[in-house]
């Protein structure tokens, strides 16, 4: 079963708008990561947030983590057409060496 579940499944916005997607997970975690996948390509690591952190920034990305609610959010500010991709959260909760991914949020940014 999947550890992480992203919401929404799909998101369509215009350039310049912000995109927010959420990830919920089931068991305690050490870290939570976000990855991006351009159509049909391999995933690319975006950012990692530790369980003792509440917020982290990287460029136009802002990640929050609420361990009491077992949820995380990824915010992309001032989105660009190049941000069109699927975004996945991943957690390492189950055991050492096993990183589990959610089903992803598909984001489409139109010019």
Partner 1 sequence: EAQVTQNPRYLITVTGKKLTVTCSQNMNHEYMSWYRQDPGLGLRQIYYSMNVEVTDKGDVPEGYKVSRKEKRNFPLILESPSPNQTSLYFCASSLSSPGLVNSPLHFGNGTRLTVT
The verdict on 44 binding partner 1 (CB under 8 A) reads: yes
Of the residues 12, 30, 58, 110, which one makes contact with partner 1 according to CB under 8 A: 30
Residue 63 to residues 19, 22, 48, 111, Cα–Cα distance (Å)? 12, 10, 9, 24
DSSP 85-110: EEEEEEEEEEETTEEEE---EEEEEE
Please state the closest distance from residue 104 (CB atom) to partner 1, in A: 6
Least gap, CB of 17 to partner 1 (angstroms) = 25
Cis peptide before 8 (omega within 30 of 0): yes
Least distance in Å: CB of 16 to partner 1? 29
* Contact residues for partner 1, defined by CB under 8 A: 2, 30-31, 33, 35, 40-45, 48, 50, 88, 90-92, 96-104
């Amino acid at each position: 079963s999947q550890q992480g579940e992203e919401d929404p499944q799909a998101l369509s916005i215009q350039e310049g708008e912000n995109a927010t997607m959420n990830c919920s997970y089931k068991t305690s975690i050490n870290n939570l990561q976000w990855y991006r996948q351009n159509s049909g390509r391999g995933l690319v690591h975006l950012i990692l947030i530790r369980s003792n952190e509440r917020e982290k920034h990287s460029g136009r990305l802002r990640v929050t983590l609420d361990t009491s609610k077992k949820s995380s959010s990824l915010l992309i500010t001032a989105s660009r057409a190049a941000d069109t991709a699927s975004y996945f959260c991943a957690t390492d909760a189950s055991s050492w060496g096993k990183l589990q991914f959610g089903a992803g949020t598909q984001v489409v940014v139109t010019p």
